[in-house]
Amino acid sequence: MPTDRPLARSLARIDATRDWLEARIRASPIGWLRADRVGVDAGALEVLRRGALETTGQADDRSVGIMMMWRYADVAGLGVALFRDERRVPDLDPAGVAFVPYTATSPTRVALASARYLCLADDPDAAHPDATPVPDLEALRDALVRRIEAFIEPVIEPLAAVTHLGPKALWGVAASATLAGLARSLADTGSPERAAAEVGALLRHARLLASAPPVVEVVESGGAPRLLLTLGICCRAYLWPGRAHEKCATCPIRPRDDRVARQLAPVAGMPHAL
Residue 137 lies in a domain: yes
Res 271: pLDDT: 39
- Average pLDDT value over all residues in the chain: 93
- Can you give the residue range of the structural domain that contains 29? 6-264
The stretch 95-109 carries a mean pLDDT of 94
Beta carbons within 10 angstroms of residue 192's beta carbon: 23
Beta carbons within 10 angstroms of residue 223's beta carbon: 5
The stretch 137-150 carries a mean pLDDT of 98
Q: What is the pTM of this model?
A: 0.93
CA 146 to centroid of chain Cα atoms: 14
Res 268: pLDDT: 42
Residue 274 lies in a domain: no
Residue 273 lies in a domain: no
Q: pLDDT digit string (tens) for 11-21?
A: 999 999 989 99
- How many structural domains compose the chain? 1
CA distance 177 to 20: 12
The stretch 235-260 carries a mean pLDDT of 89
Q: Residue 20 in 3-state DSSP?
A: coil
**84 contacts: CB under 8 Å, gap ≥ 6:** 182, 185, 186, 198
Q: pLDDT digit string (tens) for 168-225?
A: 999 999 999 999 989 999 998 888 999 999 999 999 999 999 999 999 999 998 889 9
Name 21's bridge partners: 108
Residue 80 lies in a domain: yes
